[in-house]
């Protein structure tokens, strides 16, 4: 696992140059968090398949990416979100949005939520609890805390203003605290991300993604 953003940035750049070992390192570093985000969008049953589709696109388009580790996480999250929304449309389901999104515009929280989020989630919250939040709040919390994006990057991913994302995250954290107080769940918290299952169906491993990446590069 890559230890910090500098290492992830270096690995992304090496992967762009065709280093498959570096791409596997990027995959191992980012995939668990990306999968957690996808689960909040499509549910557990379809999350592996949607995340796999996202990684295939990441592998195909990696050469065109420009930026550091934080921008890469945001870029990967946008790809995953687009694949998830495509999946939802194909199945005839829509994400459940809590409240009118315009209500959040221009009403940022008083402070940044990253530290507050880490503290709240360390108390025993799980992705299943986050999935019970309104969709806008769930996405804001996962992008800020699980994916580790700042408010600006999260806002770019969601197509919203940073203030709206801060407010949604703030409200989501408040609701999580209420859920944790009234319906605690035993077991590991979200700080220890959900265990990865063996891929099924169309799910891919880092090795198959790198193989596809090599084949895609030859086709380009």
- pLDDT reported for residue 188: 35
Give pLDDT, residue 89: 87
- Spatial contact of 38 and 80, defined as CB atoms under 8 Å apart: yes
Q: What is the pLDDT of residue 111?
A: 44
Q: What is the pLDDT of residue 105?
A: 34
Which pLDDT does position 94 carry in this prediction?
47
The confidence score (pLDDT) of residue 58 equals 97
Three-state secondary structure string covering the chain: CCCCHHHHHHHHHHHHCCCHHHHHHHHHHHHHHHHHHHHHHHCHHHHHHHHHHHHHHHHHHHHHCCCCHHHHHHHHHHHHHHHHHHHHHHCCCCCCCCCCHHHCCCCCCCCCCHHHHHHHHCCCCCHHHHCCCCHHHHHHHHHHHHCCCCHHHHHHHHCCCHHHHHHHHHHHHHHHHHHHHHCCCCCCCCCCCCCCCCCCCCCCCHHHHHHHHHHHHHHC
Q: Which residue's entry shows tokens 């590991």?
A: 188
pLDDT recorded at residue 2: 63
Nearest to 38 by CA among 78, 96, 92, 98: 78
pLDDT of residue 211: 52
Distance CA 160, CA 157 (A): 8
CA distance 145 to 147: 6
Print pLDDT tens along the chain (220 aa): 565 889 999 999 999 999 999 999 999 999 998 998 898 888 888 899 999 999 999 999 999 999 999 899 999 999 999 999 999 888 765 444 333 333 333 334 444 444 444 444 443 345 677 878 888 998 898 888 878 888 898 999 999 999 999 999 989 888 888 877 754 343 333 333 333 334 444 445 555 555 555 544 444 4
Tokens of 175: 């609701």
| Residue-level pLDDT at 39 | 87
Question: What are the structure tokens assigned to 53, written together?
Answer: 């589709």
pLDDT for residue 125: 45
Angle of helix 162-182 relative to helix 114-121, nearest 10 degrees?
A: 20
User: Is residue 32 within 8 Å of residue 196, measured between CB atoms?
Assistant: yes
The token pair at 35 is: 């999968």
């Amino acid at each position: 696992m890559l230890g910090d953003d500098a290492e992830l940035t270096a690995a992304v750049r090496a992967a762009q140059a065709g280093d498959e070992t570096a791409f596997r390192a990027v995959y191992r570093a980012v995939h668990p968090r990306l999968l957690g985000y996808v689960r909040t969008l499509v549910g557990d049953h379809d999350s592996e398949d949607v995340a796999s589709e996202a990684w295939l696109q990441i592998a195909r388009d990696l050469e065109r990416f420009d930026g550091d580790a934080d921008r890469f996480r945001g870029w990967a999250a946008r790809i995953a979100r687009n694949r998830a929304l495509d999946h939802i449309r194909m199945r005839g389901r829509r994400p459940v949005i809590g409240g009118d999104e315009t209500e959040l515009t221009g009403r940022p929280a008083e402070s940044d939520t990253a530290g507050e989020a880490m503290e709240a989630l360390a108390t025993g919250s799980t992705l299943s609890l986050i999935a019970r939040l309104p969709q806008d709040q769930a996405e804001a919390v996962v992008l800020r805390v699980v994916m580790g994006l700042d408010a600006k990057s999260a806002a770019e991913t969601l197509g919203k203003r940073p203030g709206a994302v801060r407010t949604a995250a703030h409200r989501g954290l408040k609701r999580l605290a209420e859920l944790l107080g009234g319906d605690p769940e035993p077991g590991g918290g979200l700080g220890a991300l959900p265990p990865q299952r063996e891929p099924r169906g169309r799910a891919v491993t880092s090795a198959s993604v790198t193989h596809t990446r090599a084949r895609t590069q030859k086709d380009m």
